[in-house]
Structure 1
Amino acid sequence: MPYLLNALSMLIQVAFGAIATLFLVRLLAEATRVDFHNPLSQFIYRYTNPVLAPIRRVLPNWRRINLAALLIVWLTMLLERVVIYGLAGYMPALPGLLVASLADLLDFVLLFYIIVIFGWSLLTMLSADPHQPVVRLAGTIVQPLLRPLRGKLVVGNIDFSPTVVVIILLLARMLLVAPLFDLGARLAQVG
């Protein structure tokens, strides 16, 4: 039976991860002002707007941050935790659940950036067409993180700024997200 629960848990994580990724890309695309004429941007907008439009009436953007998309990503993480805990027959205390889902959100964003930076770096290293929609979208999303180090860590023709940013993101996962998960676990057991 635990094997079936593990498989079901993995499928739930994939489904919720896909939904969270869609809304996170929408959030980051708006924040970084991704080219709307990109077919991927249009796809993301088309499939997230029916959910976000009603929420944005109540929760408008703050600067360039789409708070409605951020809320949806966090609620997705929260619901995923509730479903997985429910499958295990355990329901943690609400404060622990809220903190753990916040840690999930932060971890998801950091891991998303690590993957996108790695993929974008690999594509640019392999001289992929810079006008290709995936390369343009990924490049625009990662530029705010890479810009402060751009050109400062070049050895030969290789720019090591993506490597340094990935190391910083990995450290953030260890030093910020892990303690937040621990706090959530402690609070979950209190109830």
Structure 2
Amino acid sequence: MNYLTNALDLILGVVFSALVTLFVLRVLAEACRADFHNPVCQFIYRFTNPVLRPLRKVLPTVRRINTAALLVVLVLECLKWLIRAAMAGMMPSPLGLVVVGIADALDFFLLTWIVLVFAWSLLSMFAPDRYHPMVRLVSSLAEPLVRPLRGRMTLGGLDFSPTVVLLGLVLARILVVGPIRDLGLRWFLGG
């Protein structure tokens, strides 16, 4: 790749990551029943509603999972890979494109949860304002993952449940997403 292509790839990655982050947070906020009146949630809902409103007529929410937002995340990830392939002068196989898109979408969800649980555990050490909108959102999204282990992983007065959750999320990225992405890339490249 030349310098211009590298720069375009960087910009492409940043733009698509920002868009995917909003829709992933929308899925997680609805699934975890985050406070709708939180200003951060209001921003996420306001930004994603124009895209999701027409889709939700066709794709209903299933058990608090916004399937329309999941579809948008998958389409954005596939579109990112399609644009990268076009920049490289390639035509990927459709099946490989979808599998790589699924792998990247799953990886993005896991990475988002890693960041949220890490931020939540870091915030708990500093006793921030519990009513700050960002603190409330991070708590409402990270708490459901840590809650089942809370109090069971205590050693010497320290709760290691966030560490165990983070380890599980990182292992899921390695053992689940890695093989799916490798398979998708093989099909993507036509091999």
- 1:102-142 per-position Cα deviation (integer Å, ceiling 9, x unaligned): 10011111111111111121112111111111111011111
% of aligned pairs identical? 53
User: Does 1:53 pair with 2:53?
Assistant: yes
| 2:101 aligned partner | 101
| 2:127 aligned partner | 127
2:112 maps to amino acid: F
Q: Distance in 2 between matches of 1:190 and 1:12?
A: 24
| 1:147 aligned partner | 147
- 1:32-56 per-position Cα deviation (integer Å, ceiling 9, x unaligned): 1101111111111111111111000
1:64-79 maps to which residues of 2 (within 5 A)?
64-79=64-79
User: Does 1:9 pair with 2:9?
Assistant: yes
| 1:159 aligned partner | 159
* Uncovered stretches (5+) of structure 2, i.e. residues with no partner: none
* SS of corresponding position for 1:111: helix
Q: Distance in 2 between matches of 1:106 and 1:188?
A: 17
| 1:36 aligned partner | 36
* SS of corresponding position for 2:162: helix
Q: Distance in 2 between matches of 1:155 and 1:98?
A: 44
The TM-score normalised by the length of structure 2 is: 0.96
* SS of corresponding position for 1:125: helix
The TM-score normalised by the length of structure 1 is: 0.96
* SS of corresponding position for 2:96: helix
Q: Distance in 2 between matches of 1:151 and 1:111?
A: 25
2:187 maps to amino acid: L
| 2:89 aligned partner | 89
| 1:178 aligned partner | 178
Q: Distance in 2 between matches of 1:98 and 1:131?
A: 41
Q: CA deviation at 1:156?
A: 3.3
- 1:136-191 per-position Cα deviation (integer Å, ceiling 9, x unaligned): 10111112211110111122342211111111111111111110011112212337
1:175 maps to amino acid: L
1:159 maps to amino acid: D
Q: CA deviation at 1:74?
A: 0.8
Q: Distance in 2 between matches of 1:169 and 1:60?
A: 28
Q: CA deviation at 1:3?
A: 2.4
1:132 maps to amino acid: H
Could you list the structure 1 runs, at least 4 aligned residues long, displaced by more than 6 angstroms after superposition: none
Q: CA deviation at 1:84?
A: 1.2
What is the count of residue pairs matched by the alignment?
Answer: 191
Q: CA deviation at 1:5?
A: 1.4
2:170 maps to amino acid: L
* SS of corresponding position for 1:58: coil
Q: Distance in 1 between matches of 2:114 and 2:60?
A: 28
- 1:73-125 per-position Cα deviation (integer Å, ceiling 9, x unaligned): 11111111111111111121111111011100111111111111111211121
1:52 maps to amino acid: L
1:161 maps to amino acid: S
Q: Distance in 2 between matches of 1:90 and 1:120?
A: 42
